[in-house]
A and B are shown apart, each in its own frame.
Chain A
Amino acid sequence: MSTPTRPAGLWRLIATREVTTRIRDKAFIGGTLFSVVLIIGVFVVTALVSGGPRSYDVAVVEAPSGVLEGTAAYLSVGEDEPAEVNAVEVDDTAAAEAAVRDGEADVALLTTADGFELVSEDGADEVLEAALRAAIAETVTATNAQAQDVDLEALVAGSEVTARELDPRAAEAGARSAVAFGFAIVFLLTAMGFGMAISQSVVREKESRVVEILAAAVPIRALLWGKIVGNTVLALGQVVILVAVSLIGLAVTGESGLLAGLSGAMAWYVVLFVLGFVSLAALWSVAGSLASKQEDLQSTTLPGQMLLFVPYFVSVLAGEGVRVVFSMLPIVSTMVMPGRIAEGDVPLWQIAVAIASTVVAAFVFVRLGERMFERTVLRTGGKLGYREALAIRE
């Protein structure tokens, strides 16, 4: 069919219809809300598990001066918020033990003839114990030094140890890996979800035969572009919401350091996301146009699913070398590259290769998709194979 003219804005009308009907769809709204709730849930659980600022209760008969304050100071080193060590005043040793048993106190610190005794139910929290020992040593040493009339500063001179971090980001490595995984899974799920939506939208129009009226009224290419643009906008919109919720989550849970380090990766993610999604959108449209009924989609969308799942599993399970290569391949790059950027420095040329290859793939896929879509979307009565569709000449 010849399509000499392409009245401006036709694809936009199709895209608008695609978007407006979808955002009124209860299943779509529900799915988006579910994702948002899921992300919020992850943050809530993480916050609960990590427990926020540390707080300990120590049962004491008579608080040794300065020890608990010193312990809190040790516990607060390297934390965003100061730790708390509260004294639970008790009358005697028995009361102290009872407090520990009842859970009123984490430990009891009792004075003995030789020094102190740390009483716990079944082994004290290691961090707390270390901090207590350090604080006791410091306080007692200071007291003793004064009693012996020793210049404590002179005594400890030269013993100070300072810390220097070669890779301060290493501490966040776990969080960064999680973010990298998040990038991959969000693209996988979004590309799958919206991909299926595109295929379904095409096959629905075939099933209801409205495509015949559309084809009589507008160039088939405008139909394809309307679907690609409409669904890309929807997918991107959903991802932006999810990313925004995640960013807010990071900020609220005090991970602002992580947040700052990830902004670059997030930006590249959005770029690669759009490119990767557009390349696939053409393929998903073809999957719809090859089918005649919804049931046909299971087989016609298989190549699209494979294009997402295989690289996904390879990238998750494979070693570093494979990931580097995969991060530069089209479509897969969206799942792998932003994650690599989040985890560490990636040479700029590799990012450039990833973008370039995806642009080329998008171009090829859309052109190929246009040809196959034009030839197959008006065919009914049985599904077609990809090879068959490519062989059709009209």
Chain B
Amino acid sequence: MLSIHRLTRVYGDKTVLDEVSFDVRPGRMTGFVGANGAGKTTTMRMIVGVLAPTSGEVHWHGAPLTTEQRRSFGYMPEERGLYPGQKVLDQLVFFGRLHGMTTAEAKERAQSLLARLGLTEREDDLLETLSLGNQQRVQIAASLVHRPSALILDEPFSGLDPLAVDAMVSLLRDEVTPEMPVLFSSHQLDLVERLCDDLVILSGGRLVAAGSVEELQSSQEERYRIRLADQADAGALREVPGLEVLDAEDSSALVRLTTLAPEKALVAAQAVAPVVEFARVVRPLSQIFREASA
């Protein structure tokens, strides 16, 4: 488990990160969202040690993270960075070796990653000759080549087409071991919703929400959409005790159950008019995000 503990970063008199604490649980994908300037990149850079925190600590399995443990992490910075003029395979081997692998180990591992990313034919090409999408695939391979103990990925999917996203996601799913915490930031909330198990939301340098996606989605009272048959006026539902109509339009209404259990509410609604749809409304992440950042 990777625990961020009251991490703070101050530039001059500007606090860009203010006592942020959250956990990144192993074996799960944790999405890290927040508007631009919320402090995501600052947090990630402090986790991997390229930026010193003003105060606060990063813990690994309950103890302060050592430099040695930190170096075993895989990191993909927001601003992509590899050697443009070096061959793809050569630089993956170089990064593997920097993490203590032998040349043979690193080469085998790099080739296997490239194969899974569909880049085997390009391994002897200079990085700069690859398309941006392919360069990004190499970048993710660079963060995985040394079999990291944790993954910190800053906007790993930005600028990728849906197919490339799928390829990268399936690679990540293969690579994430039950012991490995994965933290990735993204602006693409639909993607975060699809991928992540846990969610951390930052706003203006502060933590506004953290937890599993289900927890966050059900953290408020349940809402249901009720659609009545035969164009019956949904406004009539306002007469039903134990539920509150939040919004009614034609035959459809969004309701909040105040005292009724869902099955009772269905029966009560049937008394008004035949019900063709009775569904729980799960708030999309974008809404949680908007509410949290508001």
A210–B67 contact, CB under 8 A?
no
Q: What's the Cα separation between A149 and B68 when bound, in Å?
A: 105
Q: Does A162 make an interface contact (CB < 8 A)? A: no
Q: In this complex, what residue of B is CB-closest to A222?
A: B98
Cβ of A94 < 8 Å from any Cβ of B? no
By beta carbon, the residue of chain A nearest B139 is A213
Q: Which of these binds chain B: A5-13, A186-194, A309-317, A346-354?
A: A5-13
Nearest A residue to B47, CB-CB: A216
B279 on interface, CB distance cutoff 8 Å: no
**A2 an interface residue at 8 Å Cβ cutoff?**
yes
Q: Which of B45, B52, B75, B98 contacts A13 (CB 8 A)?
A: B98
Q: Which residue of B lies closest to A207 (CB)?
A: B81
Against B, the Cβ 8 Å flags (1 = close, 0 = not) of A204-232 are 01001111111111100000000000000
Given pairs A13-B94, A215-B50, 11 additional interface contacts (CB within 8 A): A13-B98, A21-B86, A212-B45, A212-B50, A212-B75, A212-B79, A215-B49, A216-B48, A217-B71, A217-B98, A218-B71
Residues of A within 8 A of B77 (CB): 209, 212-213
Which A247-272 residues have C-beta < 8 A from chain B? none
Tally of chain A residues near chain B (CB < 8 A): 24
Q: Which residues of A contact B (CB under 8 A)?
A: 1-5, 7, 10, 13, 17, 21, 205, 208-218, 378, 394
Q: Taking the nearest CB of chain A, how far is it from the CB of B29, in angstroms?
A: 20
Q: A2-B67, A7-B100 are in contact. Are A210 and B50 (CB under 8 A)?
A: no
> Which residue numbers of B lie inside 8 Å of A, CB to CB?
45, 48-52, 66-68, 70-71, 73, 75, 77, 79-86, 94-95, 97-100, 142-143
With A7-B100, A215-B50, A218-B71 as contacts: A210 and B94 at CB distance below 8 Å? no
Closest to A3 in B: B67
Q: Are B68 and A216 in contact (CB under 8 A)?
A: no
Q: Is the CB of A210 within 8 A of B75?
A: no
Q: List 13 A-B contacts (CB under 8 A).
A: A3-B67, A13-B94, A13-B98, A205-B83, A208-B82, A210-B82, A212-B50, A214-B98, A216-B70, A216-B73, A216-B75, A217-B75, A394-B52
Q: Once the chains bind, are B67 and A4 in contact (CB under 8 Å)?
A: yes
A378 cross-chain contacts in B, Cβ below 8 A: 50-51
Name the residue of chain B whose CB is nearest to the CB of A14.
Answer: B98
